[in-house]
């Protein structure tokens, strides 16, 4: 049965509320506590020389970014989500960082839903936005409709979300993933913008990362275990459904950690960029993931909490994250993000 707009909006409001609940977090499971960067007591540079800027390849041109940190996709398609997305887009505009937009699923059935992004663009014309489509929707949606999603956000790239556990445990879920790889390959072939495949908290095995190597994707965001676990979120949404709730508890720690997923990518010998998210809570976490092999690092819950408090809170968070990241570079003797990726700084 198709989900009504009222049901959709309630589900998205539930997601925000439960994502902020500590019970939905797999805290301490991102694998980064066991990763140690090598301290350089005598770095051959001045702190002011440290540069964390990077870029994103779009239409054969480099879009400059102030930082490898990006805002992970969160929510959209309801009134509370609009205010959150406007705040996050203003941050993206001010700081020139990438931002994954929230769910665009509602736009597939309701053309008026795209108005949300028109309002976002009025407030943040220079925001670096990445579109959003779930794999189940991608499989059954004509390419012309997908292009409309890209156009509505003026997207630099398109996230394809893989959320198999979430779809099973979600009462309204659509766990229909057959021919998903073929759909991704087709999107890459027909899309004018880069395609980034993304998990939502369960990470990637080496085998799956190898399967994606021939699809032509620009990047994979491993989005591993360690932060908001969408199996847990849907479980707490389903407390009145005893069966789903019990199954969700069984799978409460399912998946590969963020650090394991990045390591799996290295072993897989992939030909696309690796991005990382999942339990990232500091600029030091960002530095560790870049040192392990990630090119971009995403965060969701910390940005969500700050967005609910306003622009100043978002800027304060970004200032802290950037200072922590720069400090990590300086104290490992690295001047740039590229040096952190290539020097032996992990022990």
Q: What is the DSSP string of 82-94?
A: HHHHHHHHHHHHH
334 within domain boundaries: yes
283 within domain boundaries: yes
What CATH number corresponds to the domain at position 183?
3.20.20.70
Question: What pLDDT score does 81 carry?
Answer: 77
Helices marked H in the chain — which ranges?
A: 5-19, 79-95, 115-123, 135-140, 143-153, 164-169, 180-190, 206-211, 230-237, 242-250, 258-268, 283-292, 301-307, 311-330, 337-342
CA distances, 197 to each of 13, 69, 194, 204 (Å): 25, 17, 10, 11
Question: What pLDDT score does 1 carry?
Answer: 45
19 within domain boundaries: yes
- Full domain range(s) for residue 324: 5-24+35-342
29 within domain boundaries: no
Q: How many CB atoms lie within 10 A of CB 108?
A: 17
Q: Over the stretch 206-265, which tens digit does the pLDDT of each residue have?
A: 999 999 999 999 999 999 999 888 888 888 887 778 898 899 899 999 999 999 999 999
Question: What pLDDT score does 110 carry?
Answer: 85
173 within domain boundaries: yes
pLDDT (tens place) for every residue of the chain, 347 residues total? 455 555 555 656 666 666 677 777 888 899 999 999 999 999 999 999 999 999 998 877 899 999 999 999 986 445 677 889 999 999 999 999 999 998 898 899 888 888 888 889 999 999 999 999 999 999 999 999 999 999 999 999 999 999 999 999 988 888 999 999 999 999 999 999 999 999 999 999 999 999 999 999 999 999 999 988 888 888 888 777 889 889 989 999 999 999 999 999 999 999 999 999 999 999 999 999 999 999 999 999 999 999 999 999 999 999 999 999 999 999 999 999 999 999 989 98
Of 55, 56, 126, the residue nearest 90 (C-alpha)? 126
Q: How many CB atoms lie within 10 A of CB 313?
A: 16
8-state DSSP, 32: G
Structurally, the chain folds into a number of domains equal to: 1
221 within domain boundaries: yes
30 within domain boundaries: no
347 within domain boundaries: no
**Length of the chain, in residues:** 347
* Cα 126 from chain centroid (whole Å): 20
pTM score, whole prediction: 0.92
The answer for residues whose C-beta is within 8 angstroms of residue 256's C-beta and 6 or more apart is 202, 203, 204, 205, 222, 224, 225, 264
């Amino acid at each position: 049965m198709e989900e009504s707009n009222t049901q959709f909006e309630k589900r998205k409001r539930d997601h925000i509320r439960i994502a902020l609940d500590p019970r939905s977090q797999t805290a301490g499971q991102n694998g980064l506590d066991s990763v140690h960067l090598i301290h350089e007591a005598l770095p051959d540079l001045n702190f002011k020389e440290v540069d964390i800027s990077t870029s994103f390849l779009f239409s054969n041109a480099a879009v400059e970014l102030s930082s490898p940190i990006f805002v992970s996709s969160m929510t959209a398609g309801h009134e509370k989500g609009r205010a959150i997305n406007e705040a996050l887009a203003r941050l993206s505009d001010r700081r020139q960082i990438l931002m994954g937009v929230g769910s665009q699923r509602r736009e597939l059935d309701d053309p008026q839903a795209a108005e949300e992004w028109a309002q976002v663009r009025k407030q943040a014309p220079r925001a670096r936005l990445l579109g959003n489509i779930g794999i189940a929707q991608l499989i059954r949606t004509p390419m012309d409709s997908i292009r409309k999603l890209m156009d509505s956000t003026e997207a630099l790239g398109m996230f394809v979300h893989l959320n198999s556990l979430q779809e099973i445990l979600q009462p309204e879920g659509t766990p229909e993933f057959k021919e998903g790889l073929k759909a991704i390959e087709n999107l890459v072939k027909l899309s004018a913008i880069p395609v980034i495949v993304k998990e939502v908290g369960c990470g990637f095995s080496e085998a799956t990362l190898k399967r994606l190597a021939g699809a032509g994707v620009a990047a994979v965001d491993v989005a591993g275990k360690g932060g908001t676990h969408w199996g847990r979120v849907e479980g707490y949404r389903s407390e009145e459904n005893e069966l789903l709730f019990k199954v969700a508890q069984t799978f409460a720690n399912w998946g590969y950690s963020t650090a394991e997923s990045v390591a799996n990518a290295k072993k897989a010998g992939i030909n696309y960029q690796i991005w990382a998210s999942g339990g990232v809570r500091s600029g030091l976490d960002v530095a560790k993931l870049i040192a392990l092999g990630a090119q971009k690092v995403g965060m969701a819950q910390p940005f969500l909490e700050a967005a609910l408090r306003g622009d100043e809170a978002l800027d304060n968070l970004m200032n802290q994250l950037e200072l922590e990241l720069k400090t990590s570079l300086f104290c490992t003797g690295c001047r740039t993000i590229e040096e952190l990726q290539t020097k032996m700084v992990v022990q």
